[in-house]
Amino acid sequence: MRRIDEIHLKFPFYGNRRIRDHLERQGCRVDRKKVRRLMLLMGISALYPRRRTSKPGKGHKIYPYLLKDLSIERPNQVWASDITFIPMARGFLYLVAILDLYSRKVLSWRLSNTMDTAFCVDALEEALRRHGAPEIFNTDQGAQFTSDAFTKVLNDAGIRISMDGKGRWIDNVFIERLWRSLKHEEVYLKAYEDVAAARRGIGDYFQFYNQERPHYALARSTPDEVYTGAVNLAEAA
């Protein structure tokens, strides 16, 4: 599963057939059906027509997509969320994070050993407590994000809900870049022995990512500097 995750990060357009072929080139002979089953367990699929961690839950309401032609010009204008797979020395976890799209700041995150709704709701509620409410919250159409429990928190806070439509995988590109940075700069360099070790390592990385790691897309500023207004992106550019 770790090898599949590494291949998927490098070649997100690969489906299970091409991932199987790539594994065989690395000396790992595996049946295509097993690759497909593990990809489903990990919540990943080929980039086209769109990436998603899971399908909408039966009967869940799907909200319209609101980001088309929208210029994101300030913090707390648009937040986004996604789920990714975290390999460990033994087993794996799921990670959800909430990102401010303007500043790229990680606002909150949670780990879970199941891809359920509760840990996503916990992360959302923490972000709202600590940072207030955004104008728009954008996700894919995964069952966790379309669930009544998740959307109720957003609706109760008066937040406009946006969901990627078919073919809109590109809209989560910022959070996908976060996953790539996290895995190459932290997760793949270590083999977490347990959940506590994973929580410490990922927590330390997100603190570094927000407070110390400069971003070229942010005129070499940090997410915290942009989010708090210490750096004006237009002037910096």
Task: Grade residue 147 by pLDDT with cuts at 50, 70 and 90.
Answer: very high
pLDDT of residue 167: 47
Other Cβ atoms within 10 Å of 81 Cβ, number: 25
Q: Which two tokens stand for residue 101?
A: 């799209």
Q: Which two tokens stand for residue 219?
A: 């005129």
Please name the CATH architecture into which domain 78-236 falls. 2-Layer Sandwich (3.30)
pTM of the model: 0.80
Q: Which two tokens stand for residue 98?
A: 């909430």
Average pLDDT over residues 55-77: 83
pLDDT of residue 168: 52
Q: How far apart are the C-alpha atoms of 208 and 186, rounded to whole Å?
A: 11
Which pLDDT tens digit goes with each residue over 185-213? 999 999 899 999 999 999 999 999 999 99
pLDDT of residue 155: 97
Name the percent of the chain lying above pLDDT 70.
89
Contact 102, 77 (CB under 8 A): yes
pLDDT of residue 47: 63
Q: Is 88 helix (H, G, I), strand (E, B) or coil?
A: coil
Lowest pLDDT segment from 22-26, 42-46, 93-97, 109-113: 42-46
Q: Which two tokens stand for residue 217?
A: 């897309």
Average pLDDT over residues 55-64: 72
Which pLDDT tens digit goes with each residue over 92-120? 999 999 999 999 999 999 999 998 999 99
Which pLDDT tens digit goes with each residue over 154-192? 999 999 999 986 545 556 678 888 999 999 999 999 989
Strands 136-139 and 78-87: parallel
Is the predicted pLDDT of residue 53 greater than 50, yes or no?
no
Average pLDDT, rounded, for the chain: 88
Q: Which of 85, 106, 86, 87 is nearest to 97 (CA)?
A: 106
Going from N- to C-terminal start, the domains of the chain cover: 2-42, 78-236
Is the predicted pLDDT of residue 49 greater than 60, yes or no?
no
Which range scores top for mean pLDDT: 51-60, 61-70, 103-112, 228-237? Answer: 103-112
Tell me which H or E stretch contains 99: strand 92-100
Is the predicted pLDDT of residue 231 greater than 90, yes or no?
no
